[in-house]
Amino acid sequence: TCGFVAIVGRPNVGKSTLMNRILGQKVSITSRRPQTTRHQIMGIKTVDTAQFIYVDTPGMHLQTRDRNKAINRFMNQAATQALRDVDCVVFLVDRTRWTDEDQVVLDKLVHVEAPVILAVNKVDWLEDKASLLPWLESLSARRDFAAILPLSAKHGTNVPELEAEVAKRL
Ligand code: GDP
Ligand code: MG
């Protein structure tokens, strides 16, 4: 089998880091500065039984800010386009709080029929791991997610588990 997987989320949440971690190489530029990825980055991962095409999806948030800028319009269209034919979406949020930009991304997923897996990134920053549980529960009310997983893209924690969840949806 072969499947398209889109990685979505607000700027700086760790999409490129996650993609590089999954693919095992630096195909996508990561940065502390938001909006480093200006165009879509694709990567293919082949395992025994399946082939995954991952798409790092920048630009979903831009409409709210400066909707008249041509580059923003273009990127926004590209982001929406990427979601049309995917088999699975990985929606990345931060471990700390829900922001307006997260909501913008979630709103864009309203018409997406593919399963959406919520991944809560950067949990390596968490000192109090117990605080994660009520947080995950509050997130689960926002949409009927196919799965919810805490992880660290940077350290790789729980990333294989995420890949296993993705594999189930293809
Ligand atoms: P993107 O804009 O969503 O593609 O975000 P990037 O992948 O470029 O990451 C933004 C920043 O967050 C970079 O400085 C990353 O090193 C950092 N980052 C990403 N994932 C993690 C993580 O799991 N833990 C920590 N501590 N930092 C992370
Ligand atoms: Mg990026």
ipTM: 0.99
pTM of structure: 0.88
Length of the chain equals: 170
The ligand 1 site (C-beta within 6 Å) comprises 9, 11-17, 30-32, 36-37, 121-122, 124-125, 152-154
Distances (CA, A) of 148 to 36, 52, 72, 81, 119: 27, 20, 30, 24, 6
Query: In angstroms, rounded to a whole number, what is the distance separating the alpha carbons of residues 10 and 45?
Result: 24
Residues with CB under 5 A from ligand 2 (ion): 15-16, 37
| Residue ID of nearest Cα to ligand 1 atom 11 | 32
What pLDDT is recorded for position 67? 58
Q: What is the mean pLDDT of residues 43-51?
A: 82
Tokens standing for residue 139: 């997130």
Highest mean pLDDT among 5-19, 42-56, 145-159: 145-159
List domains and CATH numbers for the chain: 2-168 (3.40.50.300)
Tokens standing for residue 120: 């809560």
Cβ atoms of residues 50 and 90 within 8 Å: no
Q: What is the pLDDT of residues 101-146, one digit of tens each?
A: 899 889 989 888 899 999 999 999 988 888 888 889 999 999 999 9
| Residue ID of nearest Cα to ligand 1 atom 12 | 14
* Cα(1) to centroid(ligand 1), Å: 30
Q: What is the pLDDT of residues 57-106, one digit of tens each?
A: 766 665 545 556 776 677 667 667 768 788 999 999 998 889 998 998 89
Query: Which ligand lies nearest to the CA atom of residue 153 in the structure?
Result: 1
Pick from 24, 30, 25, 22: which is nearest to 6 by CA?
22
Residue 12 among known ligand-binding residues: yes
Query: Which ligand lies nearest to the CA atom of residue 28 in the structure?
Result: 2
